[in-house]
Structure 1
Amino acid sequence: MSALTEDELWSLHQASINNGDFRVLKLATNNVTGIYDYEEQKPYWLLSEFPSNTWHIEIKDNSKTFTRTIDWSAVSFADNSLLTDQKHIPLLNAFKYWITATDNPRENGGKFKKGVSVNFSIQLITALINAILIHGESIQLAKLHFSALSEDFLMSLMVRLGSLGTLNGLYDYNNKVRETLLKHISIISDNEAEEFKEKYPFCARTLLPEEMPLGLSVTQRVKACCWLNSIGYYQGEVKSKKSKTGISIRNHHQGNSAILHNFIYDGQIIPVNNKGISTFEELKLNEKVEDKEFKSIPCTEDITGEMSETLIENYISALKLLNTVNGRDDTSQYFPTIMTSITCSRIREHVKLKKKGRFKTLPPQLVFNLIKNCYEFIQEYQESIFSSVQSVLAEGLTKSTGKNSNKDFFQHKSPKHDPNIPSTERGAWTNTGALLLICDKLQNLGVDRLSIPGTEEDVFEKRRNNKSLFDLYNVLIGSIQTLTGVIMAKRIDELITLKPHHNLSPNIDPTSEKGKKTEYELVASLKKSGSGGEHGKNSSIARPIPRSFALIIWKLEQFNQGLIKANLTKSSLSLFNNIDPVKLKIGQVNVRSYNSHLNAVCDYFELPVVIFGNDEHRRYYVRQHQLRRFFAMVFFWSKGFDGLDTLRWMLGHTDLEHLYRYITESETGAVLNGIKASYIIDAMDKNKLDNMQELVEKLAERYGVNNANISLSTITDATDDYEDTSEYKTIPHIEELKKQEKLESQVLELLEDGIISLEPEFFTIEQDGQKVNDFSLTLQINEIG
């Protein structure tokens, strides 16, 4: 079989069809793909036996491991019977086969899914199972099982999902929380509520309407918080290696969504990992200590509740995997045609779906100035910061392991001790000896301590005044992350998983004689690529990187290698790493700490702020999704900022058309359309494109408004005064941004529907005796009248 040629395989395929006998073709297919070896009751990621009442799942995908426990016995019905009772086994088996179908190649186009996709599919199916259980009484699920499933029932769930999102559409979470609170606050007396408010006055503060999804009055809110406190909502169970029971209790004044979620749904659903459920602003007892100076300007479109078309399609695909249970002897059955009409187009008849969850475009000049600041900071301080940090950590290790050291050197004397305040012995060293290890250049800059607690007064101003070594390290790592994100245009998962060293190809010092003559590439794992299945692996790709930036990466790798050699790490390292200021060790970043480094950069260089409602100031905090978009955006904005030829040179492309092909291959059509929409909106104000009047007419026709009511002005003038002074002369109001975003979204719809298009036209001109590649952008109206 393994020696079959392509022609022989096609002959076998045709013969199988002619004879109606596919046994040999099945063997040939399985020899190459292994899809018929898949065991429905024992996929590689299911550690338990199929009939078990508790499933333990472990899915590995490259360096990530996803673990999950499904406790089938946790579900009970109105008659107090359990899902695992004998009479419900057909329903239970249907749920189980539904989940194992997620990785069955015979149900997924002959492909083995990657681990991350399997985990995502199980998450979607679990949510759908729980929705069926929550709303099951309306179809007598406990009595009739799946025979009661109907098209109307499933369509109703999907419409709710499309309009309200997973949490409220499938779980009806906000309504259930409100009902639960109103039911239980009756046991809280006025005196109890008053005492509670005196202790936690923050819970009675004035809130904006959008911060009150539960719709509670101040009195109801105080009583609700008082009752929640009585059930442990403000204390969280946290795993602790030091605790004999493995559990320790800590204050959780922001609220613990897991406790509330479990209280509401106990017995009704399969218990789920509810870490992604945010807490309610209404139910907080104090202000959260943030790692950033201001609240963030939202970086995604603010369309409350609405689901993206892509996510709805994922849910529909997950729902239709339920078809695999029909025809089995040991499962509950339903009428097979009930899902025929469950389609995205049908759902769109009832609810408006977002085309795609889209990240907002950053003002281009903001990013250009950020790149400049980050690059200059790295050039000036990279070596000083790395050498000082390594010296401090090495001396700290010696102090904690030396013969005369106190074993409690890195431990706190009392469990009540603030972890940000050092013990006496440690404080003496960090306040004196440790500072002697910081190089003169940084001390002259202002460094006079290792770190500054987030609770300290004027902490961000002190960090900008360079008072803390570790905070300067965070700015340095954040700056390198920013430049990597812009220049290499990678996904955040791809950046987080970069190795601590040997990311450059070739792996030689860029300052060496050979290195000065070498063209460098950055090697990374490409997410959403490679093979799936038990031994799935992402593909590795190499992309050109400017030599000057290759040197920055090289120095970072040398620093990492020094840390590893000196045993100064608390875990395995990645390229970008995070300092633990308490343990004085370094560990690899995750998404949270990666973003924390970006926050440090945005606060240090004081990125612009915008005024929100109630005169609240919020800052631009960049995220990798936006920097990745910026890479492609440079092409379209380059006509205004002259950045295109520099980008071409940095990436090693020979000409502009080559660069454009690379951009369009690197970015999806959806991303490019978003960038084009942003460019068109700015071009309206600057009159940089022809056919503007035709665009106005098309917008008026599309949205049923008068031409005169469409304003072509934007907040460009407000954002353009972000000049060399690195300050906004005018702070725009959020309403101005929202108007621009709305118009941008409308233009985006025209682009996605093909009604308009924006494409470059390349040409060559002679300038000062030299041939120069250039281009112009053309707005085309493809459907007029």
Structure 2
Amino acid sequence: MRSAALELSRYHLNHITADFWLSLFKSMSEDGASNGVYDFTSRTVKLVKAHVNSITQEQVKAFVIKHPFVNRDIAEDDLTLYLTKEERIKACCWLYAQGYYGSGAGFLAQGSGAVLSTLLFERETVSPLLRIPSSPELWLTEKARSTEYRSLNSDKSETSSAERTINTYIIAAKLINTNIFKDNASSPLIDATKVLSVRKINDLVTLKPTGRTQTLHPDIVFKLTRQSFEFVLKFQQEILDTCLLAISKGASKSTKARSNKERPDERRPEFIPEIHQNMSHAERGHFMQTKVMGTLNEKAVKAMGIRQVLPFEVLADDKYNAIRNNESLFELYSVLIGSCQYLTGVISARRQDELVSLASTGNLKPNKNPLEEGNEDIEYNLIFKLKKSGNGGKLSTNKTIERPITASLAKIIWRLESFNVVA
């Protein structure tokens, strides 16, 4: 890929100097390892700009009618190619003609990295494992997500790759020295890689410390903490009681396949697809779908806004508004558990691994009910396994320690533990 700049055919590896390596690793640190080497962004922009003038306005109009998503406005923070809207539409139109989006049943709305790789690196030597990232500016539809919003970007704009990542590539680069003094092989300058180190790269660009991401803004943290507390204090006991009642009613129902007698066999004339297709095969599934609501406390269900017990399908329409309206009991339970986990972590300042390793019961010391009269003045501790401590080996153990927590958090934990004992 850099044979012309290095005059590779004439000088072989002699022009691969320390400056060459430092320049390469600076690019890898700033733009990511793959993009630093292959420069996907600049190559893609250069490729499409070389062909957009071949696309007529008639083609643009027809393409926008067929794929209106390409005509959307994109926030500047989400741009990577920085094409104008007209250039972007023409680029998509030209790429479509090159087979970038597949065809027929093989239609790929976000494009094919394999096709783009061929267009970008024709007659060049690249890794067969190369994976070209998909640019949202070239999508024909929005990518399906199992979450309502995109995840928060935790990368700091002023930092780049992690130190550990760059060090891995430095080690790999130094393997070029195994060619030295071998017959019929070009020998690189050994001094070229001597200067390569994380410290040297850090002099050129700020590397991100291993395992560290950007802390969320205090406004987000405080708002989420307040909302979580208000939600838990208002609904925790009612949600747990209602869930316990629902699962106790369904526990006696069979989970075996075809145990639902109300769902006819697909081969019998009684089977009506419009009615029976989405009906559960198991007795318990059908009961939880259609009958369990009638066994719950009507007043509590109505007060919370619950319309069904089971969670929504992953890609169900208007799923997130329904979750916000408390329409599913089990979705409500998931929100409750997430809120309790968040509050425990943020108030006690514990690691994620320390939270998920908590036992189902017995996490409070003293192990007394903070809701009972007479226990108001007890100072509670949270018992947990301290990560990054203890003994290693095959039977590794972490040190068990205690740390003070607030009475309000002790009450939340006690309610969950009480539910776990019964459930």
TM-score, normalising length from structure 1?
Answer: 0.41
Q: Which has the higher contact order (CA 8 A, sep 6+)?
A: 2
CA distance in 1, matches of 2:100, 2:253: 38
- Are 1:456 and 2:317 matched, yes or no? yes
Tell me which residue corresponds to 1:221.
88
2:65 aligns with 198
CA displacement 1:39-72 (0-9 Å, x = unmatched): xxxxxxxxxxxxxxxxxxxxxxxxxxxxxxxxxx
Q: Summarize the alignment of residues 331-730 of structure 1 with structure 2, pairs less than 5 Å apart.
A: 333-343=187-197, 346-347=200-201, 350-351=204-205, 357-363=213-219, 365-377=222-234, 379-387=236-244, 390=247, 398=255, 400-402=257-259, 404=261, 405=263, 423-426=277-280, 432-436=290-294, 438-440=296-298, 441-449=300-308, 450-452=310-312, 456-457=317-318, 459-492=319-352, 495=355, 498=357, 521-523=383-385, 526=387, 540-544=398-402, 546=405, 547-552=410-415, 554-555=417-418, 558=421
Asked if the contact 2:71/2:89 (under 8 Å) is kept, the reply is yes
- Residue 319 of structure 1, CA deviation: 0.6
Give the 3-state SS of the residue equivalent to 2:346 in structure 1: helix
Alignment of 1:279-294 (within 5 A): 279-288=134-143
The residue type paired with residue 301 of structure 1 is: K
Q: Does the Cα contact within 8 Å between 2:237 and 2:415 map onto a contact in 1? A: no
- 1:739-784: per-residue Cα shift (whole Å, max 9, x none)? xxxxxxxxxxxxxxxxxxxxxxxxxxxxxxxxxxxxxxxxxxxxxx
Aligned residues: 392
CA distance in 1 between counterparts of 2:2 and 2:363 reads 56
Structure 2 counterpart SS, 1:177: helix
For 1:555 and 1:272, locate their aligned partners in 2 and report how far apart those are by CA, in whole Å: 51
Provide the TM-score with structure 2 as the length reference.
0.69
Give the structure 2 partner of residue 66 of structure 1. none
Give CA-to-partner distance per residue, 1:532-578, whole Å, 9 cap, x none.
xxx8787534343655454355357558xx6xxxxxxxxxxxxxxxx
Cα deviation for residue 135 of structure 1 reads: 3.6
SS in 2 for 1:398: coil
Separation in 1 of the partners of 2:93 and 2:355? 44
Gaps of 5+ in 2: 267-271
Partner AA of 1:358 in structure 2: Q
**For the residues of structure 2 that align with 1:162 and 1:489, how far apart are their CA atoms?**
32
Q: CA offsets, 1:65-103, max 9 Å, x none?
A: xxxxxxxxxxxxxxxxxxxxxxxxxxxxxxxxxxxxxxx
RMSD: 5.0
Tell me the distance in 2 between the aligned counterparts of 1:222 and 1:294. Answer: 25
Tell me: CA distance 1:490–1:199, structure 2 relative to 1, closer, same or farther (3 Å): farther
Instruction: Quote the Cα distance in structure 2 between the aligned partners of 1:334 and 1:478.
Output: 56
CA spacing shift, 1:158–1:327, aligned 2, 3 Å: closer
Structure 2 Cα separation of the partners of residues 557 and 258 of structure 1: 50
Alpha-carbon distance between aligned partners in 2 of 1:385 and 1:332, rounded to the nearest angstrom: 74
Q: Match of 1:307?
A: 160
Change (3 A) 1:340 1:178: same
Whole-Å separation in 1 of the counterparts to 2:254 and 2:106: 29
State the AA in 1 paired with 2:384: L
What CA deviation, in whole Å up to 9, does each residue of 1:148-195 have, x standing for no partner?
Answer: 532121011022234433343233111122233345657766544432
Cα distance in 2, alignment partners of residues 326 and 167 from structure 1:
22
Please give the residue correspondences for 1:53-68 in structure 2 after superposition, counting only pairs within 5 Å.
none
| Superposed displacement of residue 432, structure 1 | 3.0
Mapping 1:12-411, distance limit 5 Å: 134-135=1-2, 138-139=5-6, 149-183=16-50, 190-229=57-96, 234=101, 253-255=109-111, 260=116, 264=120, 268-272=125-129, 274=131, 279-288=134-143, 298-303=153-158, 306-307=159-160, 311-312=162-163, 314-316=165-167, 318-320=169-171, 322-323=173-174, 326=177, 333-343=187-197, 346-347=200-201, 350-351=204-205, 357-363=213-219, 365-377=222-234, 379-387=236-244, 390=247, 398=255, 400-402=257-259, 404=261, 405=263
Q: Secondary structure at the match of 2:301?
A: helix
Quick check: 1:504–1:520 contact (8 Å CA) kept in 2? no
Partner amino acid for 1:432?
A: T
3-state SS in 2 of match to 1:269: coil
In structure 2, relative to structure 1, the CA distance for the partners of 1:480 and 1:541 (3 Å cut) is farther
